[in-house]
Structure 1
Amino acid sequence: MRITNLALILVMSIASGPLMAETTAGQIRKAAVAFLQAFATEQAGQGYTVTFEPGAIDSRLALAECAAPLEVQFSGDPWKTTSPSLLVACEGERPWRMFVTASLSIKGPALVAARPLTRGERITEALLMSHSVEVNASRRGVITDPRQAVGMEVRRSVNAGSLITPDILSAPDAVARGDHVIITARSGNFSVRSRGKALASASIGEQVLVENLRSSRTIKANVVGPGQVEIPM
């Protein structure tokens, strides 16, 4: 009887086949480290120093074997957080996805105020200086190119040495209320110009109400430059 039972167990074992291969926590961590290292190397070429450490992964984790190399990418913007999440995915016959946290520090040059700035002040190159900071510690982003800040206006007071972030800058008005403007009505390569008066203030890219001085009609136009507005024909 015991021999019969043993034979049955052996038959069932053979029929079930070998155990399925698994993707281990160690393999997932290795893929995450390789991805972060590649990111660090890429940014080093741009003048940034990147340090990182993948978060802990449960050693008991076992997912389906992946025939293809694991794919890793940031699930958000790594330039705006020091704790980004990585999406690790297998796109094989038995696909799966999981998130891995990481600690990430990106240090490099960014623009700071060379002296205290007051609200409404127009930015010049003399008011800016470059300083090494932890770029991704600012959720509001940073500005690294002076051309993105010069000519802009300060929306609120800024202390000397403070980061220049996009949210504290605004484009100056290209058209002020009461200004005389040139209205261009355009259709393809054909255009007609007339004079008008702005009924509000607006910056380039915004819309503004304009009174056509010839017809006395009020129209809505797009601001395309200082004293210049445009409408479609």
Structure 2
Amino acid sequence: MRTTIYALTLLMSSFSAFAGTELTATQVHEAAVGFLEIFAKQQAANGYKVSFETGSIDDRLSLAHCLNPLSVEFTGDPWKSTRPSLQVACESERPWRLFVTASVSITGPALVAARPLTRGERVTKDMVTTDTVVINATRRGIMRQAQDVVGMEVRRPVNSGSLITPDLLAAPDAVERGDHVIITAKSGSFSVSTRGKALASASVGEQVLVENLVSARTVKANVVAPGRVEIPM
């Protein structure tokens, strides 16, 4: 995600008094803080708490005065890093840009393991719970709703209280090797179905080899639902 928020108009008014002069480290710092304050308010409206601190800026800094409002943006995704950089830029007759470091913490609800989870388990609602965590402390993402993980398969052991991240879960196999399946061949609105047998296990969206039990031919099909595969014509 690339988030861009322009500095507040009030910042521009504070800069106007410096027309024809140079911008200082203090003014650049004010623009960065104003941007982060807006970001924090936006996330607060969605139930997240944002705390931040900008890195130091050399007090000796002097930049050409900007005739337009300074623009500030994240150079990376603040939801996946607690140390995102900010780009403060001037788009004017004498353009320039400056990078400012920042420490950003986004705290909010996310799913964690309610008990130790073992590899191969199918997730049920009582296996997860919601806790308040620093969401951007992990680059692997989070899961917010129990209904999004129920029925998923645990890929590797998870300790109790550990954050549930997408890479810890996998969609369960919709067909198992040896299962009898319905093979549907489709072309536009026309379709024809027959019986088959899966020659491997696969989840929805994956391809699998199936044996047509009528013709004894082996074909490659897409798994579209539990027990159902489809072949485009």
Letter aligned with residue 217 of structure 1: R
* Residues 139-191 of structure 1 deviation map (CA, whole Å, 9 limit, x = unaligned): 22221121221111111111211111111111100111111111121222222
Aligned twin of 2:232: 232
Q: Does 1:110 align with 2:143?
A: no
* Residues 3-48 of structure 1 deviation map (CA, whole Å, 9 limit, x = unaligned): xxxxxxxxxxxxxxxx964333222211111111111111111211
Q: Does 1:154 align with 2:154?
A: yes
Q: Percent identity?
A: 68
Structure-1-length-normalised TM-score: 0.86
Distance in 1 (CA, whole Å) between partners of 2:219 and 2:165 is 35
Aligned twin of 2:74: 74
Distance in 2 (CA, whole Å) between partners of 1:210 and 1:96 is 61
Which consecutive residues of structure 2, in runs of 5 or more, have no partner in the other structure?
1-18
CA apart distance, 1:83: 0.7
CA apart distance, 1:215: 2.3
Aligned twin of 2:131: 131
Change (3 A) 1:215 1:51: same
Distance in 1 (CA, whole Å) between partners of 2:214 and 2:91 is 65
Distance in 1 (CA, whole Å) between partners of 2:93 and 2:196 is 66
CA apart distance, 1:105: 0.9
Structure-2-length-normalised TM-score: 0.86
Which consecutive residues of structure 1, in runs of 5 or more, have no partner in the other structure?
1-18
Change (3 A) 1:196 1:50: same
Instruction: After TM superposition, list the pairs within 5 Å mapping 1:48-87 onto structure 2.
Output: 48-87=48-87
Aligned twin of 1:16: none
Instruction: Tell me the number of residue pairs that the alignment of Structure 1 and Structure 2 aligns.
Output: 215
* Residues 189-232 of structure 1 deviation map (CA, whole Å, 9 limit, x = unaligned): 22221222111111111111222222222222111110111121
Change (3 A) 1:46 1:184: same
Letter aligned with residue 170 of structure 2: S
Letter aligned with residue 132 of structure 1: T
CA apart distance, 1:50: 0.8
Aligned twin of 1:38: 38
Instruction: After TM superposition, list the pairs within 5 Å mapping 1:197-216 onto structure 2.
Output: 197-216=197-216
Letter aligned with residue 135 of structure 1: I
Instruction: After TM superposition, list the pairs within 5 Å mapping 1:174-185 onto structure 2.
Output: 174-185=174-185
Distance in 1 (CA, whole Å) between partners of 2:34 and 2:182 is 57
